[in-house]
Chain A
Amino acid sequence: MAKHASRLNRFFWILAIVAFGVGLYGLYSRIAFGHTRANYGSYVPWGLWVAAYIYMIGLSAGAFLFSTLVYVFNIRRVSSEGTVAAPAVGLADGAAFERERLEQVGKLALFTALVTLVGALICIWLDLGHPERAWKLALQTSFRSVMGWMIWLYAAYFVLLLVELWLAMRADLAARSDQSALARFLTFGRRDVSEAAQAGDRRVLRILGSLGVVLAVAFHGSVGAIFGVVAARPYWNSALTPIIFLAGALLSGGALLTFITAIWGPEPGSETHRNLMRFLGQIVLGLLAFDVLLEWAEFSIGLWNASPGESASLQLVLFGQYWWVFWIVHVGFGVIVPAILLIFLRRKVWAAATAGALIAVTFLTVRLNIVVPGLAIPELPGLEAAFHGPGLTTHYVPSLSEWLLFIWAVGLASLIFLIGRRVLPIIHTER
């Protein structure tokens, strides 16, 4: 696995560079031609970039909540069965060693949360008609709008992520500050690596992590609430919407972290790594089941209530022109295949890794299937045919420019991750 991991690492470097390079055209297109090259319009005003935003912000919130398993809930070791041992009070040497490994996954989770947040913010920033006015969101906020709350919540979340990550890395940065100027700079002068200082860091981390649990739930819940409060769109207008967003965030973020741990986690190939993967795989399986339950609740109630407003959107998802996005990409590759892998091959690291990757990647379609079908039902019959012009249609497929900009954002986030993993003490076994 160790050899595979390093080969895969190289593969993903190439992939990230290609995505970044190819995606540059999307960035150019957005800057040079504004919104004229995008396929969303006035009747489907939100498209791929908004879906990409809630997708990546979900990955971020999910990965962050996974980090709290280590920093808040104090899970310190996983047994060979992939189950969690009770938080040890007096740690034996072996347990202390294992705790260190788990803490590395904690850092990995925090760093994943940070880079996906950056990707998400780029997508939504360039989606604005006037990106240069984004500062108004923070300084002239309307708190009657859920979106206003969201801005403040994720600004706080961003700061908290940075501080947590710094605290988690501080001791390692200090230890390395003799060899590395970057590490020396990043300690910001705090180079005390005594046991007392590290215990202090852990204490603060635990407080911040606890705060972070609330903040991550509040901020991703508010992303869901943005959709949930819109009474004009019956498909979105449900108290379940923010909950589905949270469950989806946990699932997709956890799945991504499982995949990342497989390749960039501590000591690939070791027994600890195998146990860790099994542990993460089983959590992801549980979250997958929970997510399917919520999805069932949403679809069954929405279809059986026979109110045309909501069922029209659901019909579109299930049996519309893009039925395969739901049935094949999401249900097939996002639910059934990963479930089989996680149930029947749970001892295999590659199986958990593949399942994680499949869930994490295909989750974009879940987000697209929230954003677009909610908008693709005309609010008044005949609205589409009443006047013609660009954007005055309920049919939406992302344009090439939209895809490329999204790919660029993913490439950028991936590169930040890969570079960060090299230069920062996130996982130090490979150094």
Chain B
Amino acid sequence: MAESEKAPTTRRDVLRGLGGALGAALAVGALGRRPAAEGEALAAPSRPLADARPQAAANAAPLTSDPLAQEDVLVRMERELTRALAKPREQRRWVMVIDLRKCVGCSACTVACVAENKLPPGVVYRPVLEEEIGTYPNVTRKFVPRPCMQCDNPPCTLVCPVHATWKNEDGVVVVDYDQCIGCRYCITACPYGARTFDFGHFYTSGTPQGVPSLLGQDAADDYERLANAEYGESWPRSGGDESPVGNVRKCHFCLHRLAEGMLPACVTTCIGRATLFGDANDPDSLVAEMIAKPNVMRLKEEMGTAPRVYYLL
């Protein structure tokens, strides 16, 4: 399935190229290495591409691109993002697709999100849920990253008593930190547990004070006091109870990064390229291609929340 995520026209070419390369490699192995030692003969088929590429390129004429020089999906998504940003906001439909077959459960997305949004202890936008299925020897582990679903029918925005959270023109569920009173009703209403409350904790609280203040809490917590850039504004944590402390916080598809033409932090950091992002209203986009597949599902679809996060099984 890896190839299927690239441009559809290249798949056949790649396979043909691979086939040619493999054939050439076998030929080389058969002709050139017959007298070689047994160990070498066994090793040869395991590295056919490296050995056989020149022949493959020569033999398989229709090969349009080097299989190892395939375009990273990130490059494609960046390009599509630029295209989407040129459109009026209400015509974009931001969608996230998470390929569960590719997710290895490394939690790099979770950590990238914490770093990007300077999340304090207890606030998390995108944990990775882990589940062990089956018993030995038929056992596997399933990893489900869970960002905000950015539902098209969000139950969380309706319950807010002060208009502090809503779906913006891009279709992203946002929170106005200056308006939120911190009643946490929306947390109870989200069926995905995607909202967390900023209690005002610091990672460095309770750690020793340094003398002189080069080490220790007073210096180490500088990082924690830096402002994040959520919603395109500056939200420093001074240590008091100013917002976002005392507010409900959630994943916002890194709107502040999107505005600068950058993909969400979790997408760029995913080592397996399991998280895809883009404008589903663009029929040529990678996400539009992915969500049209039969093996796509959404969490708790029966609730009618219409999530914008899709999972590939």
> A-side interface residues toward B, CB under 8 Å?
34-36, 38, 41-43, 45-46, 127-130, 133-134, 136-137, 140-142, 144-148, 151, 226, 229-233, 374-375, 378-383, 385-387, 389-392
Residues of B within 8 A of A374 (CB): 188
Residues of A within 8 A of B122 (CB): 41-42, 389-392
B114: shortest Cβ distance to chain A, in Å?
9
Q: Does B123 contact A (CB under 8 A)?
A: yes
B197 and A385 within 8 A (CB):
no
A188: shortest Cβ distance to chain B, in Å?
33
Q: A129-B180, A129-B246 are in contact. Are A137 and B162 (CB under 8 A)?
A: yes
Q: B185 touches which one: A42, A130, A147 (CB < 8 A)?
A: A147
A137 and B189 within 8 A (CB):
no
Rounded to whole angstroms, the CA-CA distance of A140 and B160 in the bound complex is 11
Of residues B131, B161, B299, which shows the largest number of chain A Cβ atoms within 10 Å of its Cβ? B161
Within B149-206, the residues touching A (CB, 8 Å) are 155, 158-163, 179-185, 187-193, 195-201
Rounded to whole angstroms, the CA-CA distance of A144 and B154 in the bound complex is 13
Q: A34-B200, A385-B130 are in contact. Are A379 and B191 (CB under 8 A)?
A: yes
11 contacts between A and B (CB under 8 A): A43-B193, A45-B197, A46-B188, A130-B247, A137-B162, A142-B163, A233-B188, A385-B129, A389-B123, A390-B122, A392-B122
Rounded to whole angstroms, the CA-CA distance of A130 and B241 in the bound complex is 8
Within B203-248, the residues touching A (CB, 8 Å) are 241, 243, 245-248
Within B256-285, the residues touching A (CB, 8 Å) are none
Q: Which residue of A lies closest to B241 (CB)?
A: A34
Q: Does B128 contact A (CB under 8 A)?
A: yes
Mostly, the A contact residues are loop
Q: Does B124 contact A (CB under 8 A)?
A: yes
Rounded to whole angstroms, the CA-CA distance of A136 and B179 in the bound complex is 8
Q: Which residue of B lies closest to A386 (CB)?
A: B127
Q: Does B117 contact A (CB under 8 A)?
A: no
Q: B181 touches which one: A133, A144, A146, A232 (CB < 8 A)?
A: A133
A148 and B127 within 8 A (CB):
no
Rounded to whole angstroms, the CA-CA distance of A270 and B151 in the bound complex is 65
Q: Which residue of A lies closest to B186 (CB)?
A: A45
Q: Does B303 contact A (CB under 8 A)?
A: yes
Rounded to whole angstroms, the CA-CA distance of A381 and B300 in the bound complex is 12
B199 and A142 within 8 A (CB):
no
The 4 closest A-B pairs by CB, nearest first: A129-B182, A129-B246, A386-B127, A42-B196
Known: A42-B197, A129-B245, A141-B161. 4 other contacts (CB 8 A): A34-B241, A42-B123, A130-B243, A146-B159
Q: B196 touches which one: A46, A226, A392 (CB < 8 A)?
A: A392
Rounded to whole angstroms, the CA-CA distance of A141 and B190 in the bound complex is 21
A145 and B188 within 8 A (CB):
no
Q: A130 touches which one: B131, B182, B196 (CB < 8 A)?
A: B182
Q: Does B92 contact A (CB under 8 A)?
A: no
A137 and B161 within 8 A (CB):
yes
Q: Does B45 contact A (CB under 8 A)?
A: no
B247 and A147 within 8 A (CB):
no
B47: shortest Cβ distance to chain A, in Å?
39
Q: A142-B163, A391-B197 are in contact. Are A147 and B183 (CB under 8 A)?
A: yes
Q: Does B19 contact A (CB under 8 A)?
A: no
Residues of B within 8 A of A41 (CB): 122, 197, 199
Q: Does B298 contact A (CB under 8 A)?
A: no
B143: shortest Cβ distance to chain A, in Å?
10
Residues of A within 8 A of B245 (CB): 34, 129
Rounded to whole angstroms, the CA-CA distance of A136 and B127 in the bound complex is 32
Q: Which residue of A lies closest to B205 (CB)?
A: A36
Rounded to whole angstroms, the CA-CA distance of A231 and B184 in the bound complex is 16
Q: Does B146 contact A (CB under 8 A)?
A: yes
Q: Which residue of B lies closest to A142 (CB)?
A: B163
Rounded to whole angstroms, the CA-CA distance of A385 and B246 in the bound complex is 24
A46 and B199 within 8 A (CB):
no
B181 and A136 within 8 A (CB):
yes
Residues of A within 8 A of B161 (CB): 137, 141-142, 145, 147-148, 151
Residues of B within 8 A of A233 (CB): 188
Q: Does B54 contact A (CB under 8 A)?
A: no
Q: A232-B191, A379-B192, A380-B299 are in contact. Are A389 and B160 (CB under 8 A)?
A: no
Residues of B within 8 A of A378 (CB): 193
Residues of B within 8 A of A38 (CB): 199
Rounded to whole angstroms, the CA-CA distance of A129 and B186 in the bound complex is 13
Residues of B within 8 A of A146 (CB): 159
A122: shortest Cβ distance to chain B, in Å?
15
Q: Does B121 contact A (CB under 8 A)?
A: yes
Q: A34-B245, A46-B188, A383-B193 are in contact. Are A134 and B181 (CB under 8 A)?
A: yes
A420: shortest Cβ distance to chain B, in Å?
30
B192 and A380 within 8 A (CB):
yes
A386 and B190 within 8 A (CB):
no
Q: A380-B146, A382-B129 are in contact. Are A36 and B184 (CB under 8 A)?
A: no
A136: shortest Cβ distance to chain B, in Å?
5
Q: B188 touches which one: A375, A382, A385 (CB < 8 A)?
A: A375
Q: A378-B193, A382-B130 are in contact. Are A389 and B158 (CB under 8 A)?
A: no
Residues of B within 8 A of A232 (CB): 155, 188-191, 303
Q: B163 touches which one: A45, A140, A231 (CB < 8 A)?
A: A140
Rounded to whole angstroms, the CA-CA distance of A387 and B130 in the bound complex is 10
Q: B131 touches which one: A127, A134, A137, A381 (CB < 8 A)?
A: A381
Q: Which residue of A lies closest to B146 (CB)?
A: A380
Residues of A within 8 A of B179 (CB): 133, 136, 140
